[in-house]
Each structure stands twice: as structure tokens, then as C-alpha cells.
A and B are shown apart, each in its own frame.
Chain A
Amino acid sequence: MEIIAIVSLVSAIMALVRTGILSYVEVREVLKKYETLPATPENIEALRLELLASAEMTHAVDDPRIRAILEADGIDPEVLRIA
């Protein structure tokens, strides 16, 4: 029981670290391009749109990991899709 708890904790922490690093790298990459560009209204709007594009979520049912688990459990992912 203790081993299961430790394994699940380590997995969760690895997922968290991955998320933190990805968040940092992705945002930094978008921002870096604009460090040398003057903050004109056009550039501010361009960065705004890039950030918003980064903020969009993939639908849960379009995540390949989720689809693989659902299909392995005999469930059609498309049944769970919302518009």
C-alpha cells in the first residue's frame, strides 16, 4: 500500500515538473521573439494573438493518450465529444 502511494506520488510529481517546464519554455519562446521588437500597437496585438493561440486547449477527446485509454476500455472517444 505504501509502495503504491509512493509510486503514485512520484508519477504525479513527474507530471507536475513536466507541466512546469513546458509552461516555462513555451511562454519564454513566444516572449523571446518580442524582446528586440519595439512595443508598437501592431506588435502588441501580434503578441497578444500568439499568447491567446498558446492558451487554447486541445479537446480532451483529441488527446492521443486519452483516446488510447478509452479505446483500450472499449469506449468510442467520439461519443464523449462536445460540439
Chain B
Amino acid sequence: MRQWRMVGVVVVMAMVLGACAAKDLPTGYESLRSEVSLVEGSKYIQGLRDQYIVARQRGLITPDQFVLAVKADETLSVAWNRMVAAIRAKNDSAALWAEAIRATSTLENLLVSWIPNYTPVPNKPAVLGK
């Protein structure tokens, strides 16, 4: 019982730390909130990657599942970087966002269905959908 309480405390700490990162834009720079959300989005995707790497190291997913996860992650990282490049050029589009969100969802669904007792990565930014 006490271990589960500790687990809860640790998860809440991680969520609070992530939430703090979004709220401290210096005065006058508040218009960059969506760019901060993108940084959080990339950390969220990194969290998904950490999940399947750890799962493979622990033998919780097979080599074939790992390859499929890498393929989904590769598709996601390409879509994500394409979107970031478009935002940098102030030329992003709904289609690029949709592609990144779809690729994120694909990787999430694989992990949820494969990893036993899957713990979702906290602090999923709103830009990636709920």
C-alpha cells in the first residue's frame, strides 16, 4: 500500500515539473506559448520512445514489436520535424499538424496494446490532442 502511495507521489512530481515548464515565459514573450507547447510535445514523444526502449530492455515486447515501434517512431519524428520546420518558416498547415497527431496516436496505440500495465506518459500537451 505504501509503495503505491510512493508511486503516486513520483508521478505527481513529474506532472508538476512538466506543468511548471509551460508557465514561466518571461514578461513580453507570452506570445511564444505555442512554441513552448511544441517543446513539451517533443518531450512527450521522447517519453513514448523511452517507454518502448525500456519495455524491450525488460523483455516486455518482442524484437518484431520493437521494430514496428521504431518504424512508427521514425514516421512520427519525420512528421514532427517537418511540422517544426514549417512553423519556423511560418508556413505550417492543418495537414502537417494532422499528420503529426496521427503518427503520435499510432505509436501510443501500439504501446498501450503491447506493454503490460502500461503507464501513460504524463503532460501530453494539448497540441497533440487528448
Task: Spell out A's residues near B (CB within 8 Å).
Answer: 4-13, 15-24, 26-28, 30-31, 34-35, 37-39, 43-44, 47-49, 51-52, 54-61, 63, 65-66, 69-70, 73, 75, 77, 80-83
Contact = CB atoms under 8 A, between A and B. Distances in A.
B115 A23 contact: no
**Residues of B in contact with A, size category:** 35 or more
Interface string B58-78: 101001001100110111111
Contacts, number: 181
Contact of A13 (B36, B78, B119): B119
Given A7-B58, A12-B115, A57-B46, 11 more contacts: A5-B116, A9-B119, A12-B51, A12-B117, A23-B21, A31-B29, A38-B28, A48-B35, A55-B39, A69-B66, A80-B74
Given A52-B87, A59-B78, A66 B43 contact: no
A28 B21 contact: yes
